[in-house]
Structure 1
Amino acid sequence: MSEPTGTDEAGGPSPAPPPINDVRTPGPVVRARMLSGDVGYAVTRAAEAQHVLCDPAFSSAATFLPRAPAEPREPVGSSRVLFEMDPPEHTRLRRAVAQAFNRRRVEAMGAGIEEVVDGLLDETAAAGPPADLVQTLCAPLPLTDICELLGVPREDRYSFRGWAETIMALRGHSPREIDRARAAIQRYFADLVAARRADPADDLVSELLTARDREERITEAELVRLAITLLIAGHGPTMNQLARSVYALLTRPEMYAALHRDPELVTTAVEELLRTVPSVPVATPRLALRDVEIGGVPIPAGSTVAVSSLAANRDPALFTDPEVTDLGRTENRHLTFGYGPHFCVGAQLARTELRTALAALTRRFPDLRLAVPPEAVRWRTDSLFHGPVELPVTW
């Protein structure tokens, strides 16, 4: 599909729409180029974004039909995962996950998360500077935690990182490589589900099996896909969010120093960094099922519509001084974890990981700084999750 350019007010060709990941215009709605290269609509104000994320006229499931241009990839596995579903199917499965992924379980993980962070920072300190913080902290922390939650044995965990990154990459992997990764991750979780059915443990897969056997009527295949969803969503976004947050702090040393001086600041700091440097700058696209209007802008049926959390998080109607990173900001209703039915079920876990990691890092490494110029840091351009490829630091 060729990219339409249209005409400007003078009758000449209008500029090509910007990439969806870079849209910051406080809209409410602007034309934007989707990840696939096709042109759709980006919703860039908070009120309209919340409307789109809740209105059944905008379908997540329909974007994964063969005719839909939203994403240059197939759904993970043989059927859809949570972020590719609409109610009531989505509601039924999300309810089961929410019951198992409850506050009690996440709070019980707190001491374990601290232990993982301390161990990773011990290893970083022992190896000495310089270090790549992506490899020493940002990647292994959420991978360890989500695998612990799911009941994945420690020796199997690093296979998952490669599989997940291959599946979620937008380019750089052949269809054959992606198919192999999908097959491997499905086969692994099918075996794990069978093992937990025979011998339950204190983990999320075992708890979801209980839900399957009782009121929620989850099929075995759905349980496998839920586990895959949780693995991918519990690893990639948090890994990149932590790396983006540390990069933002190190390029503003006074902010990093403020966290070192006042550890109590970490709670609001994490929310502000989620607002200003989100690792998922665009919510899963939707397809308009009928002609609709958003903020006075007509959207034809069949159009791809994506919420730019990057722009909505800077809506001056919702945030005072929205372009300013204020680590003490207390009113912070950002959309980085989504909104409505698809609000991230793992948001509490991600927040706990981010707070624990930033508190420990700023406490133990008060002189941490980038080991390369900021402009030399390489960024992921081939994934749905955005963050540094490496984060070289010294102290």
Structure 2
Amino acid sequence: MTSTVNAVDERAAGAPEFPMARAADCPFDPPPALRDRQQEGPLSRVRLWDGSTPWLVTRYADQRALLADPRVSADITRPGYPLQSPLPPGGPGISFILKDDPEHARLRRMVTAPFAIKRVEAMRPGVQKIVDGLIDDLLASPKPVDLVDAFALPVPSLVICQLLGVPYADHDFFQTNSKVIINLDVTPEQRSAAHGNLIGYLDGLMGEKIADPVDDLLSGLATRVTAGELSREEAAQMGVLLLIAGHETTANMIALGTLALFEHPDQLALLRDTDDPVLVSSAVEELLRYLHITHNGRRRVATEDIEIAGEVIRAGEGLILANDIANRDPEVFAEPDRLDIRRDARRHVAFGFGVHQCLGQPLARMELQVVYGTLYRRIPTLRPATELERIPFKHDGSVYGVYELPVTW
């Protein structure tokens, strides 16, 4: 036992820093050092900004096993949790995704119904109308145009605003503050101020919904506040989470997925020339697998000792599950570094796994299906208006993508 502990200590002492840098000439691929770690063994140690050395988990099967293990906690307040950055002054505003059951399950159930598959499918015609309208605006615009600003960001922002009951006229405000919250380079004070801005904003909307509820998600939360099932602060926190997650992640997938298709013209041609919804759906899953935009790993901490992959993870030790490299695991996906929209990629872990898997995945999938199935067909000559090397990638955020994507046609 002593030799095992000493071996772990030695690995911790020489642990590389995390997150790791992507290769400049391969912006769609996970960092090369992550690939090396996956090939060298299932688990290893990495070093974070605060000097802590959590376990890095790179292989698909181990990640799924740990995400489904009740001895693995998502509670950000537990000692040993591998924080991405310092907590803001006064502690974090904790959303339900950073809590464990039963509290996680209690809060999550309150917002599950609007994201059910049947409810989401009923939204498809409305989303199609939004996408077509924005494409009409694109076609009427002078060229080149920034696809992020003119299309990728407005699509999910309009959709989540309608679902939540948030005025789209306020999009500049919530998008600006959202960008600060997910930027890893800002100070804790800046992140706290941005979070406070959004909490205040959502709390104000919650007051309006309590006084005059209508048919939207925030009004549903407001009725629970009135019934005493939920505090107004909890409702505002949930609103912030859904607002940020509902537009940031999908917006980045739209732009980054489009750029990846530009770099793979054979795959773009397949998607552009089809009206088969099955192939469009397959393309969405493959792009989610291939790109996986949450590239700083899912963070967890062990609550008990866990034996896995020949190692013992001790209670209180942190875990980082690098899902981008798990989606490139050759044991699960043949030729994992090849983009193939005809591949069956539905087993990917882009939305996580287990009780904490992404609540909004049916909505994200539907939006991406509408976008990928419409944009390239309606603008068949759509192409980048600058070289790949000049496109600014989001290496400084917890959500990966591009800051802008100049296009023409």
Q: Distance in 1 between matches of 2:10 and 2:196?
A: 46
Change (3 A) 1:35 1:242: farther
| 1:92 and 2:106 correspond | yes
User: Which residue does 1:149 correspond to in 2?
Assistant: 163
Matched, 1:359 2:366: no
Deviation at 1:212, TM superposition (A): 4.8
1:307 corresponding residue in structure 2: 321
Tell me the CA shift for residue 69 of structure 1: 4.2
Q: Give the aligned partner of residue 70 of structure 2.
A: 56
How has the CA–CA distance of structure 1 residues 322 and 261 changed in structure 2, closer, same or farther, with 3 Å as cutoff? Answer: same
Residues 330/175 of structure 1: CA separation in 2 closer, same or farther (3 Å cut) = closer
Residues 1:232 and 2:252 aligned together: no
SS in 1 for 2:295: coil
Contact 1:77–1:186 at 8 Å: present in 2 too?
Answer: no
Q: 1:200 aligns with which of 172, 197, 213?
A: 213
**Which residue is 1:289 aligned to?**
303
1:66/1:316 CA distance change after superposition, 3 Å: closer
Distance 1:331 1:184 in 2: 39
Aligned to 2:131: 117
CA contact (8 A) 1:286 1:305 kept: yes
- Tell whether 2:59 aligns with 1:45: yes
Q: 1:14, 1:307 → 2: CA distance?
A: 19
Distance change in 2, residues 1:34/1:238 (3 Å)? farther
1:368 match: 382
Q: Matched residue of 1:285: which SS?
A: strand
Which of 237, 258, 267 is the matching residue for 1:246?
A: 258
Contact 1:143 1:234 survives alignment (8 Å) = yes
| Structure 1 residue 178: Cα displacement | 2.5
Tell me the SS of whatever aligns to 2:170: helix
Give the aligned residue type for 2:317. S
* C-alpha distance 287-307 of structure 1, shift in aligned 2 (>3 A): same
Partners of 1:141 and 1:168 lie apart in 2 by 19
Displacement of 1:71:
1.9
Match for residue 407 of structure 2?
393
Is residue 2:193 matched to residue 1:180?
yes
- The number of equivalent residue pairs is 385
Cα 1:33/1:114, change in 2 over 3 Å = farther
Match of 2:334 among 320, 324, 339: 320
SS in 2 for 1:39: coil
Q: Counterpart in 1 of 2:232?
A: 220
1:189 is matched with: 202
CA offset digits 1:281-330 (Å, max 9, x no partner): 34430112233222112223332211111111122332233222210113
Displacement of 1:6 after TM fit? 7.7
- Whole-angstrom distance in 2 between the partners of 1:209 and 1:389: 35
| Secondary structure in structure 1 of the residue aligned to 2:112 | helix
- The 1:377/1:203 distance shift into structure 2, 3 A limit, reads same
Q: Deviations over 1:115-163 (max 9, x none)?
A: 1111221222211321111111111111111111110112212211011
Greater Cα shift, 384-393 or 30-39: 30-39
- Kindly provide the CA deviation profile for residues 35-87 of structure 1, in whole angstroms up to 9, marking residues without a partner as x: 666432221122211111121222111x3457644220437986410221111
- Residue of structure 2 in register with 1:330 after alignment: 344
Q: 1:17 to 1:169 in 2, by over 3 A?
A: closer
Question: Under a length normalisation based on structure 2, what TM-score does the superposition of the two structures give?
Answer: 0.87
| Secondary structure of 2:84's aligned partner | coil
1:99 to partner: Cα distance: 2.5
The share of aligned pairs that are identical, in percent, is 37
1:340 partnered with 2:354: yes
Question: Are 1:291 and 1:300, in contact at CA under 8 Å, matched by a contact in 2?
Answer: yes
Gaps of 5+ in 2: 1-7, 21-29
**The 10-residue stretch of structure 1 (203-212 or 132-141) with the greater mean CA deviation from structure 2:** 203-212
Question: Can you list the C-alpha shifts for 1:209-258, whole angstroms capped at 9, x where unaligned?
Answer: 344556x9222221111111111111111111111111110011111111
Over 3 Å counting, the alpha-carbon distance change for 1:33 and 1:100 in structure 2 is same
* Whole-Å separation in 1 of the counterparts to 2:395 and 2:325: 19
Distance (Å, rounded) in 2 between the aligned partners of 1:65 and 1:170:
21
Q: Would the aligned equivalents of 1:268 and 1:327 in 2 still touch at CA under 8 Å?
A: yes
TM-score, scaled relative to structure 1: 0.90
